[in-house]
A = this chain, B = another copy of it.
Amino acid sequence: MDLLIENVQRVVTLNALKVELFKKFWEVRDLKKGEYLLYQGQVCRYDAFVLSGSLKGYFVNPTSYKEEVAFFAIEDWWATDLDSFHNMLPSMLNIQALEKTQVLQITKERFETLLCELPELERYFRVILQSYANALLKRIYLRNAISAKERYTKFLEQYPTINQKIPQYMIASYLGMSAEMLSKIRSGSA
């Protein structure tokens, strides 16, 4: 729980009373390696913050039936299908634990109550979403602007720990390149 509180306090200040109130809204959930936080087609009932471990958000390509990685969520990050959570729509994503993982989760109803009781959190979530939207926009244009090799280098900078943990084909999918291309880059032949 401390990790989430620190994350929030980086943006807004909560006094001790408010921190106690804040804590009551969240429940801890433990996931085994391979366990699903969300299945594609289900409504995403929880917003989740990663305390430890890591998850991937992915969908199955309806044409090729291949898995396509939309995001990785590691410690101190959020793992949610925003559209599904906020609009109660079927999710386009699966979210699955890549290893033993612990998250804090909150339902939509409780999320709305939390924001009513601690309206200063609107600012926190606004700032978080700003960074997130910005990261997504960067990803869209970097995909066009820089080479596969540079994209991989940037990925290693952004996710230094995840590279060891997960199969290369998932990283290739996330980076929008073939597994063969990634293998060439890693071996230094591309």
Contacts and interface: CB of A to CB of B under 8 A. Distances in A.
Contact of A82 (B115, B134, B145): B134
6 contacts: A63-B145, A63-B146, A115-B123, A119-B119, A119-B122, A140-B140
Interface string A100-116: 00000000000000010
Interface residues of A, number: 34
Interface in A25-62: 59, 61-62
A59 B133 contact: no
Interface stretch (A1-9, A124-132, A182-190): A124-132
A109 B22 CA distance: 30
A144 B86 contact: no
A140 B136 contact: yes
Contacts of A138: 83, 92
A70 interface: yes
A139 interface: yes
Contacts of A90: none
